[in-house]
Amino acid sequence: MSVTLELLEALKASQGNCSDYRAAKIIGVAQPQICKYRNGERPLSPEKVLFICDLIGFDACDWLLKLYRERARCTKEIEVLDALRSRMAA
């Protein structure tokens, strides 16, 4: 599951399993944007990741690193991001 979908599902669960429409209102996007997130057409922006993490009490650093890893374009970038996550976990 993508970072975007994981965070959206966590947000909805934290809000009593709210609808996509309500989730869109909470994060300040139009409801069709949620459909784009769900279909993999568009990932959450780093700003939205930070907002959601703050709202539901997730570690924003870890989730941003996950987001950037998902977007990584080369093996070296993935290795560096994985190393950063390992350092944070220690």
Is the pTM value of this prediction over 0.95? Answer: no
Domains recognised in the chain with CATH numbers: 3-89 (1.10.260)
- Checking if the pLDDT of 90 tops 90, the result is no
What is the per-residue pLDDT for 39? Answer: 93
Among 32, 33, 56, residue whose Cα is nearest residue 43: 33
Say if residues 47 and 60 touch (Cβ distance below 8 Å).
no
Kindly report, residue by residue over 48-75, the tens digit of the pLDDT: 999 999 999 999 999 999 999 999 999 9
CA 5 to chain centre: 7
Reduced to 3 states, what is the DSSP secondary structure of residue 41? coil
Kindly report, residue by residue over 21-49, the tens digit of the pLDDT: 999 999 999 999 999 999 999 999 999 99
